[in-house]
């Protein structure tokens, strides 16, 4: 087994940054460099003011404060870092392909391929390459063939590689907790020595019974499957939320009763406006593509329906808002509470708020958007790229919404309040104050099921809560 002294992580994003911060914290004897092509991102990781790191995660700034400059470094010097590392994590983005074969379904592997090429050209001696990004099954084969395309590197030195798959299961908003106390760590590979070396890194803080070793393809497929199962639970409970609204059943009661069955379990049964985040949709679509590739069309359709229900949930919420507001949103102001795809993150990728806000803007509504962590510029950028927004509105998106730092400013003189992210602070808003500053009649739409109906009933609001019959 090779003792790992220096790690390079390519990709300083939502996974690379927090993951390497925790590895550095738990492995003081290993030097870790997180490298990225994006200079602004690296600058942001290196800045003094820890409240302005590029990623917001509870507990992250404290760890960065402990390890940055000691054994954790952020830099743009990718080649130098590759040359001097024993182990290289590839943690770059793997978005859905936009053009060509598999467009809209499979991952665009250009960033992963570029990493493999750079590693192949620069590495010296024996290097363990670890796939941390979520990748389509059999990607390790592509990486291996690029790495092994020559015996010597660009400057004539001999080198060799082992490729491992080590998918990440952290969820945003709880990344640090998930990294420090994971349910499991998964290592896939066929080189026992390399597997032992990576295992040894994790054993610094993770009990050995939590480390699962499999072959490469099982590891890659397990990651896609885990995300598909999680997303499936959300689409399932969201489909039941609509039945609740039609029948008078209550979604929280149903989820509680169903989740008490230990075979089903209580987690991931919160109905909402649909799952967001950069990965669920992308990973299911990858699974769908894989099924089609192997001629498994019925299975492809089965998984694709999880994504379809998710889109339907967002659309039905928008239609319901229009319906309740007398079928007309022109000259109406709607306060949007929350834009991130879930609480405790500043990430907006695939946030249900994007589609719902876009539909409402198209319908003529003026939105007053509030979020505790998402910036105005990111909201503007995101909405101006949404293809749901009609082109003429997209061009002048700044005329269709305003961003408010203060939640009551967003709510003031609005016709409706639409809760889209479950930020804790929205649970304890001053409804007495709100009742005096909105335009009447005021609708409150709670898509995250976080408001207390009894409290709201004391005031003259019309309330719609997801999964509750009228
Ligand atoms: P991200 O977009 O936040 O970060 C990726 C970073 O990689 C970017 O900063 C980008 O500039 C950099 N990069 C791209 N190509 C590069 C190159 N050739 N050299 C150097 N840097 C390069 O992405 P993320 O959310 O961290 O996700 C990374 C991977 O991890 C994806 O495959 C994703 O599916 C997976 N994943 C994400 C999460 C999550 O919660 N976000 C959780 C588990 C797994
Ligand atoms: C998810 C998985 O939970 C991680 O294990 C995985 O590593 C990660 O994807 C990934 O591969 O990127 P993440 O997307 O960060 O993590 O966040 P989740 O907590 O899973 O939430 C995803 C979406 O589902 C959010 O929009 C959230 O609001 C929604 N959700 C979640 C519900 O609507 N109901 C629930 O009960 C749980």
Per the structure block, which two tokens stand in for 87?
């182990």
Residue to mutate (ligand 1; options 114, 278, 344, 346; most atoms within 8 A of CB): 278
Is 115 designated active site? no
363-399 burial, b if ≥16 CB within 10 A, otherwise e?
Answer: bebbbbbbbbbbebebbbebbeebebbeeebbeebee
- pLDDT by position in tens, the chain (length 470): 788 999 999 999 999 999 999 999 999 999 999 999 999 999 999 999 999 999 989 999 999 999 999 999 999 999 999 999 999 999 999 999 999 998 988 899 999 999 999 999 999 999 999 999 999 888 989 999 999 887 888 888 889 999 999 999 999 999 999 999 999 999 999 999 999 999 999 999 999 999 999 999 999 999 999 999 999 999 999 999 999 999 999 999 999 999 999 999 999 999 999 999 999 999 999 999 999 999 999 999 999 999 999 999 999 999 999 999 999 999 999 999 999 999 999 999 999 999 999 999 999 999 999 999 999 999 999 999 999 999 999 989 999 999 999 999 999 999 999 999 999 999 999 999 999 999 999 999 999 999 999 999 999 999 999 999 87
In 123-250, beta strands by DSSP E: 125-131, 159-165, 185-188, 211-214
**Hey, what are 7's tokens?**
């790690």
Does residue 445 contact residue 469 with C-beta atoms inside 8 Å? Answer: no
Atom of ligand 2 nearest to the CA of 351: 26
**Active-site pick, 8, 27, 279, 400:** 279
- Cα-Cα-Cα-Cα dihedral sign, residues 385, 387, 391, 394: negative
Residue from 220, 237, 279, 314 whose mutation best tests the ligand 2 pocket (most atoms within 8 A of CB):
279
Burial of 235 (0-12, 13-18, 19+ CB in 10 A): buried
Distance of CA 401 to the CA centre of its chain: 25
341 lines ligand 2 (CB under 6 A): yes
Nearest-CA neighbor of 140 among 171, 122, 159, 115?
115
- Cα(194)–Cα(87) distance, integer angstroms: 9
What phi and psi, each to the nearest 5 degrees, are found at residue 213?
-115, 135
Instruction: Give the closest ligand to the alpha carbon of residue 10.
Output: 1
Match 């379990």 to its residue by tokens. Answer: 265
**Angstrom distance (rounded) from CA 369 to CA 379:** 9
Q: 3-state secondary structure string, 252-321? A: HHHHHHHHCCCCCCCCCCCCCCCCCCCCHHHHHHHHHHHHHHCCCHHHHHHHHHHHHHHHHHHHHHHHHH
Give, rounded to a whole angstrom, the gap between the first and last alpha carbons of the chain: 64
Q: Among 308, 246, 240, which Cα is nearest to 275's?
A: 308
Q: Given ligand 1 and candidates 8, 9, 20, 36, which is best to mutate, with the most ligand atoms within 8 Å of its CB? A: 36
Q: What's the pTM?
A: 0.95
Q: How far apart are CA 334 and CA 411, in angstroms?
A: 8
User: What is the 16 CA–ligand 1 centroid distance (Å)?
Assistant: 7
Please give the distance, rounded to the nearest whole angstrom, from the Cα atom of residue 95 to the centre of ligand 1: 9
What is the torsional sign of CA 88, 94, 100, 102? positive
Q: Which ligand is nearest to the CA of 343?
A: 2
Cβ atoms of 32 and 20 closer than 8 Å: yes
3-state secondary structure at position 12: coil
Ligand 2 atom with the shortest distance to the CA of 167? 7
Under 8 Å CB-to-CB from 395, ≥6 apart: which residues? 384
Beta strand 159-165 pairing with 401-403: unpaired
Ligand 2 atom 1 nearest Cα: 171
Q: Tokens standing for 253?
A: 């009661």
In order of 181, 230, 358, the CA distances from 14 in angstroms are 18, 19, 25
Radius of gyration of the chain (CA): 24
Q: Provide the 3-class DSSP secondary structure of residue 83.
A: helix
């Amino acid at each position: 087994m090779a003792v790992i002294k220096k790690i390079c992580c390519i990709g300083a994003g939502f996974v690379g940054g927090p993951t390497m911060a925790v590895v550095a914290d738990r492995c003081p004897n290993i030097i870790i460099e997180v490298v990225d092509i994006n200079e602004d991102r690296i600058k942001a990781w290196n800045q003094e003011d820890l409240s302005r790191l590029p990623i917001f995660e509870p507990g992250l700034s404290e760890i960065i404060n402990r390890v940055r400059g000691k054994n954790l470094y952020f830099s743009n010097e990718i080649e130098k870092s590759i040359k001097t590392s024993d182990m290289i994590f590839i943690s770059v983005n793997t978005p859905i392909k936009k053009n060509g074969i598999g467009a809209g379904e499979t991952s665009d592997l250009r960033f992963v391929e570029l990493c493999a090429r750079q590693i192949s050209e620069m590495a010296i001696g024996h290097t363990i390459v670890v796939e941390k990004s979520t990748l389509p099954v059999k990607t390790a084969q592509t990486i291996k063939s690029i790495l092994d395309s020559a015996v010597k590197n660009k400057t004539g030195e001999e080198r060799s590689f082992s490729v491992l798959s080590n998918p990440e299961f952290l969820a945003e908003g709880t990344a640090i907790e998930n990294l420090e106390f994971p349910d499991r760590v998964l290592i896939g590979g066929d080189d026992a020595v390399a597997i032992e070396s990576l295992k040894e890194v994790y054993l610094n803080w993770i009990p050995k019974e939590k480390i699962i070793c499999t072959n490469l393809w099982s590891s890659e497929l397990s990651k896609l499957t885990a995300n598909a199962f999680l997303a499936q639970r959300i689409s399932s409970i969201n489909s039941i939320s609509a039945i609740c609204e039609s029948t008078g059943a209550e979604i929280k009661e149903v989820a509680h009763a169903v989740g008490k069955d230990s075979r089903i379990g209580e987690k991931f049964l919160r109905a909402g406006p649909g799952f967001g985040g950069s990965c669920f949709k992308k990973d299911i679509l990858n699974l769908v593509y894989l099924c089609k590739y192997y001629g498994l069309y019925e299975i492809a359709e089965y998984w694709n329906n999880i994504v379809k229900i998710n889109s339907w949930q967002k659309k039905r919420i928008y239609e319901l808002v229009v319906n309740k507001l007398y079928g007309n949103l022109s000259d109406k102001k709607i306060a949007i509470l929350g834009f991130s795809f879930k609480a405790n993150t500043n990430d907006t990728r695939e946030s249900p708020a994007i589609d719902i806000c876009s539909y409402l803007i198209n319908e003529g509504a003026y939105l007053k958007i509030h979020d505790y962590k998402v910036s105005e510029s990111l909201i503007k950028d995101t909405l101006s790229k949404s293809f749901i927004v009609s082109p003429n509105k997209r061009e002048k998106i700044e005329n269709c919404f305003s961003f408010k730092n203060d939640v009551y400013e967003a709510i003031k003189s609005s016709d409706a309040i639409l809760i889209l992210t479950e930020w804790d602070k929205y649970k304890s808003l001053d409804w007495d104050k709100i009742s005096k500053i909105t335009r009447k009649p005021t609708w409150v739409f709670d898509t995250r099921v976080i408001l207390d109906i009894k409290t709201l009933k004391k005031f003259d609001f019309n309330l719609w809560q997801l999964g509750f019959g009228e």
